[in-house]
Amino acid sequence: MTDLNAFPITRRWKPANPGVIQLYSFPTPNGVKVAIALEEIGLPYEAHLANIMKDDQKTAEFLSLNPNGKIPALIDPDGFDGKPVGIFESGAILQYLADKTGKLIPADPARRLECHQWLFFQMAGVGPMFGQYGHFYKFMADKISDPYPTERYQNETKRLLAVLDQRLDGRQWIMGDDYTIADIATFPWVGTVRDFYEAGEAVGLGDYTNVTAWLERCMARPASLKGKNIPPRP
């Protein structure tokens, strides 16, 4: 049996089957990326709820795997040279899973690099900017009188949507005919702007017709329908 005792996080979230991937997550845009990718790839895994509403991600056990104290994090018992490996940061996890399996990423080196660029477009732009906009739009509207923060992030959200819309013009997926980790990283954030932050109208999401059609295609995939609720929200 695989021994994961070297990872203190397993003392708080005990694996039922230590021989499969252990995912520590919460159903946020960053959290569901990894569950969706695992479902698409078909790798067996266990999902453990790290309840960010109770600061589980700030416990010593969680910090032992991700010192930044953010979900998701993951242990693969069959990592490099067959040894267990721990990984944090959703983008790094997606890259690792794609590299491990050869799935959800182009094989051609030039297209692989292109896919990585769009993955980092999400990590550096879409995620942080959409998240800040949603925070000010939904949660701070009645707490601050200065419109500047909301307007700043709203404008950047719209700019990023325009970039994505242009990229998707004439393409089914971000990489064309290939559904990749770039799509999986990005679409949960677009869906969150519309469904959780309820800001679709405010950013004119309906005007980005390529984005909205792509979002529906992404969300309709069986792995997305399942993965968006893994682990289940308490």
Q: Per-residue pLDDT tens for 111-158?
A: 999 999 999 999 999 999 999 999 999 999 889 999 999 999 999 999
Return the pLDDT at 2.
82
Tokens 């309709």 correspond to 220
Asked if 19 contacts 1 with a C-beta cutoff of 8 angstroms, the reply is: yes
Residue count of the chain: 234
What class does CATH assign to 109-224?
mainly alpha
Calculate mean pLDDT across residues 76-88.
96
Return the pLDDT at 234.
86
Q: Which of 87, 30, 57, 67 is nearest to 227 (CA)?
A: 30
Asked if 189 contacts 124 with a C-beta cutoff of 8 angstroms, the reply is: no
Q: Within the chain, which residue ranges are assigned CATH 3.40.30.10?
A: 9-103
Q: Within the chain, which residue ranges are assigned CATH 1.20.1050.10?
A: 109-224
Return d(Cα 77, Cα 85) in angstroms, integer: 6
* Predicted TM-score of the model (pTM): 0.96
Confidence of residue 42 (pLDDT cuts 50, 70, 90): very high
CATH architecture for segment(s) 9-103: 3-Layer(aba) Sandwich (3.40)
